[in-house]
Amino acid sequence: MEKRKKGFTLIELVVVIAIIGVLAAILVPVMMGYVRKSRVAAANDNAKQNYNTALEVAASCSAESNGYVVDSRKSVTARKNDLQSKLGSCSDPVFQSYYQEMIDHLQMDDKGYYGGLYVGNVPVAVVWSNSSGDNAILGRYPDTLHTDDTYTWNDWENDCAQFQAGGYTSWQEYMAAQGG
């Protein structure tokens, strides 16, 4: 009787490697899409937290500024300094608590960039990103028009300019006028 060799033939190995290659070519882009979506979700969450905290700060502090204030592409350090110069003089203890909470949230190991649009001292819309570059992933809140990950700092600056030029008082009013 002849002994049979155990193992796989070269053709069988090549077929298996080809199948693995095809699966990898299909799965890698899909997985990268999930990673990007999770980054957008995290950025949106940061924007929402900053919006809500800023809203609470504005409600706690009676001092109001007039007109529009736009903060765009500011690092968290610059944003903290800006908050301290604009809102730091309010002596309300509730305000001080919210203010400190917002400063602590913005710390985030000194990483991140914030953009805020305010009417008076009330936040209307907020964006947050981990980068100030043009390819940054921006989280937005509230926003019903831009739901994908292609929204850029330039888009944010254009929206702010159109918001001010149109004399809008809420982001929802602006989004409705834009078709959102």
pLDDT digits (tens, 9 = 90+) for 81-108: 665 555 555 555 655 565 566 656 555 5
Indicate the helix (H) or strand (E) that contains 180: none
Sequence spans of domains, the chain = 10-178
Q: Lowest-pLDDT range, 35-49, 55-69, 105-119?
A: 55-69
In contact, 101 and 122? CB cutoff 8 Å: no
Question: Mean pLDDT in the chain?
Answer: 71
In contact, 106 and 115? CB cutoff 8 Å: no
Q: Is the pLDDT of residue 124 over 60?
A: yes
Per-residue pLDDT reduced to its tens digit, 60-76: 554 444 444 555 555 55
Q: How far apart are the first and last CA of the chain?
A: 79
Single-letter code of the amino acid located at 173: E
- For 99, residues 6+ apart whose C-beta sits below 8 A from its C-beta are 57, 83, 87, 88, 90
Structure tokens at 70: 């736009």
Check residue 6 and give its pLDDT.
79
Q: Which residue has the higher pLDDT, 137 or 101?
A: 137
Q: Which residue has the higher pLDDT, 87 or 151?
A: 151
Check residue 62 and give its pLDDT.
47
Q: Is the pLDDT of residue 28 over 60?
A: yes
Structure tokens at 141: 């809140």
